[in-house]
Structure 1
Amino acid sequence: MSQYFLAVNHDPADEARMAEMTPAQMQEVFAAVDAFNTEVKEQGAWVFAGGLQPIEMSTVVDNTGAQPVITDGPYAESKEYLGGFWVIEAPDLDGALVWAQKGSKACAGKVEVRPFQDEPEA
């Protein structure tokens, strides 16, 4: 089985849409994501998942020079940012795409699928 990163990206349009949601609508999304997480776990595809704090809470560490430099984030000035993710196991990309479709429906947002690099052989 291969591992895949399912990224939930946000942009300003998503923020505006989420800001307009009522608490009841937000609870529906939370319940849908919880049901999706349960299904992924029950099917044995779950590795790890998490939601992230807002992009304004990020910190960037650059220790590529003579001294480390630590600055407030985000790392890249971009309209889109990572809001949460799942790491799953699937037999192939097609299997990961099925999970991504379900995850996208549950979180009411776009999901990007990226395979992890294969581990080097010892």
Structure 2
Amino acid sequence: MKEYLLSIYQPGGEELVDPEFLAGAMRELGAIREELEASGCWVFGQGLHAPDTATVLRPSDGDVLITDGPFVEGKEYLGGFTIIRAPDLDAALAWGRRYALATTLPIEVRPFQGED
């Protein structure tokens, strides 16, 4: 089976999320994870802190420049990710579709390199 990255993109800014909606989404995400684990498709996944917690390292004239903040400012940011094993892209997209419906957020599905 191939491995795929499911990236969860969140809107930037100080948008408030309804606690009731968030609780329901987290329950649904937990159920999806349990199903992934039971099927042998789960590899790893985790949420990320906000972009303002990031540190960026850039090569510069033989040294490395360290700066606070995200690599790039944007309207959306990577809020979390899941790595799964799936027999093909269609199966990976089916899992991604469930994540999108549970979170109402954009989900990017991308295969890892080096696999047939």
**TM-score, structure 1 length as denominator?**
0.86
CA RMSD of aligned residues (A): 1.9
Match among 102, 112, 115 for residue 111 of structure 2: 115
Count of aligned positions: 116
In structure 2, distance between residues paired with 1:87 and 1:64: 32
Identity of aligned residues (%): 39
The one-letter code of the counterpart of 2:2 is S
What's the secondary structure of 1:7's corresponding residue? strand
In structure 1, distance between residues paired with 2:2 and 2:86: 6
Q: Gaps spanning 5+ residues in structure 1: where?
A: none
Structure-2 residue corresponding to 1:43 = 39
Deviation at 1:11, TM superposition (A): 2.1
**TM-score, structure 2 length as denominator?**
0.90
Deviations 1:65-116 (A, max 9, x none): 3211110121012212100111001111101001101111222211111110
Q: Given that residues 2 and 92 in structure 1 are in contact (C-alpha distance below 8 angstroms), is that contact kept between their aligned partners in structure 2?
A: yes
Which structure is higher in strand share? 2
The one-letter code of the counterpart of 1:11 is P
**Measured at CA, do residues 106 and 40 of structure 1 come closer, stay the same or move farther in structure 2, by a change above 3 Å?**
same
Q: Given that residues 5 and 109 in structure 2 are in contact (C-alpha distance below 8 angstroms), is that contact kept between their aligned partners in structure 1?
A: yes
Q: Gaps spanning 5+ residues in structure 2: where?
A: none
